[in-house]
Amino acid sequence: MGDKLKSQIEYSENINRFLSTLEIDELIRRYSTPLYVIDENTLHRKVKELRDAYSSFKGKTEIAYSIKANFNPSIIVALMKDDIMFDLTAIEELYFYQRCKGDLKRIIYTTVAEEYEEYLHVLKNGVERVVISSYNGLLNLIDAARTIDVKPKTLIRINPEVGVKASIKASYRDGKFGVPLYTNTADNAMHILEHIIREENLQFDGFHFHLGSQITDPTCFINALAKLDQFITKAKDTYDIKVNTLDIGGGTPIFYGETVPTPSTIASSMIDKLNNMSYRHGITNLIVESGRYITAESMIMLSKVVNVKEYNNDKFAILDAGYHLLLDAALLKQQYPQEVIRYDKGKSNKNIHLAGRLCDTYDIFPKSKISKLDDVDINSYIVFYNVGAYSIVFNMPFHCQTKPAVVMKDSNGNLRLVRKEQKIEDLFMEEGGELL
């Protein structure tokens, strides 16, 4: 059985098998299923791959982990070892980061809400670099900075309004995120820049954009940089500014079912432009944010087949998991690669479908091109690969389902529980049971 599994894996380059069959058996015995497992080594490897990709940038490159992708405290702590920055979006994320003893100087804080109380809290707690996304947000940041007399480094989040090929697009005309370069209203980059420069309590630091997640074509980066370059050139005609930092956001894709560009392909498509802008505008810091690329491949989910039903040409395997554990399978039709393990019946002459345990039409797991779905039966197990980003953070109690345990395989190869399984009694009480 072990050899069979091994040979299946060796044929597929794009799934990251970091557990031996023995380890899987041991984990299932100890924690049952569904179960998530994180591999610490993969986290460090992914950071290195991103760093290496941008190594020919002539200034300093910082990788910033977007903790929205997976805020498991053990992941945050593991990534601190890589001396990276952290991209935070909410004061609740800041709470997690502080509880993990994160260095506040290593934060870039980009909020969508931009409330005065939020900025006050963030600045009081020692965050030094903030990204502004609206004129009202700027006024709130100024008020907060004046109230406690600090001078945060301030970046402007622009919406370059470029076309993006991605699973999730964040830059489009009249969009929610950032401000356009030019408008007739107060919400434009030039107007905000002018205010930041005039404000005693802010230090202008640079520009940020985030174009989307799972970006499959790097052209959008080149187009966004071209627009920003023109804008900076124009701004320098009027204002005496120095752009220290350029933050190109996240979006580096990972393999689910389609071939995607690697970080080095994406980086090399824009590195000349980045170096040219760095030279002409004095940009010394490049920030590359990433959530998905750093965590997705670091995590698998183990699930058990609890029922099967067969029709003429199809066989359905009902799992003990569902989209309450892998929401993007339903929401984005994300094709997490899957594999049948611990069952040795070989190929099936039927089409195998993996369905979740929820009483919901959308609870069917799309198959990746590299899924290894041999025959299945009750008590076979399914491994879902590349589930480390934007899935566990959406765990929800639909059908009163509890959150499964999470185990981490650390860099020394030790398997350690990093999140306990939620108990049904705890869920009942949280949902209002304690108020009965």
Contact call for residues 267 and 223 (beta carbons, < 8 A): no
292 binds ligand PLP (CB under 6 A): yes
* Per-residue contact flags (x/-) with ligand PLP for residues 102 to 131, judged by CB under 6 A: --------x---------------------
- Measured at the CA of 206, the angle between CA 202 and CA 208, to 5 degrees, comes to 115
Taking CB positions, which residue lies at the least distance from ligand PLP?
Answer: 250
Report the nearest approach of ligand PLP to the CB of residue 253 (Å): 8
User: With respect to ligand PLP, which residue has the nearer C-beta, 70 or 303?
Assistant: 70
Q: What is the Cα–Cα distance from 272 to 291, expressed in whole angstroms? A: 25
289 binds ligand PLP (CB under 6 A): yes
The one segment of 219-227, 285-293, 323-331, 399-407 that binds ligand PLP by CB under 6 A: 285-293
Does an H or E element contain 292, and which?
A: helix 292-295
The one segment of 96-104, 233-241, 288-296, 422-430 that binds ligand PLP by CB under 6 A: 288-296
The one segment of 186-194, 291-299, 310-318, 320-328 that binds ligand PLP by CB under 6 A: 291-299
CB atoms within 10 A of CB 90: 17
Report the nearest approach of ligand PLP to the CB of residue 258 (Å): 15
Q: Please identify which residue in 74, 213, 368, 380 interacts with ligand PLP, judged by CB under 6 A.
A: 213
The one segment of 244-252, 308-316, 368-376, 377-385 that binds ligand PLP by CB under 6 A: 244-252
399: left (phi over 0), alpha (psi -120 to 50) or beta: left
DSSP 121-135: HHHHTT--EEEE-SH
Alpha helices in 100-218 (DSSP H): 116-124, 135-148, 189-198
CA distances from 3 to 13, 21, 341, 377, 378 (A): 17, 9, 11, 20, 22
Contact call for residues 110 and 87 (beta carbons, < 8 A): yes
User: With respect to ligand PLP, which residue has the nearer C-beta, 210 or 304?
Assistant: 210
Q: Please identify which residue in 137, 291, 356, 388 interacts with ligand PLP, judged by CB under 6 A.
A: 291
Q: Strand 314-319 and strand 299-310: pairing?
A: antiparallel
User: With respect to ligand PLP, which residue has the nearer C-beta, 251 or 337?
Assistant: 251
Reported residue count of the chain is: 436
Report the nearest approach of ligand PLP to the CB of residue 291 (Å): 3
Q: What is the Cα–Cα distance from 254 to 296, expressed in whole angstroms? A: 7
Number of residues this chain uses to bind ligand PLP (CB under 6 A):
16
Residues that bind ligand PLP (CB under 6 A): 66, 68-69, 87, 110, 210, 213, 249-252, 289-293
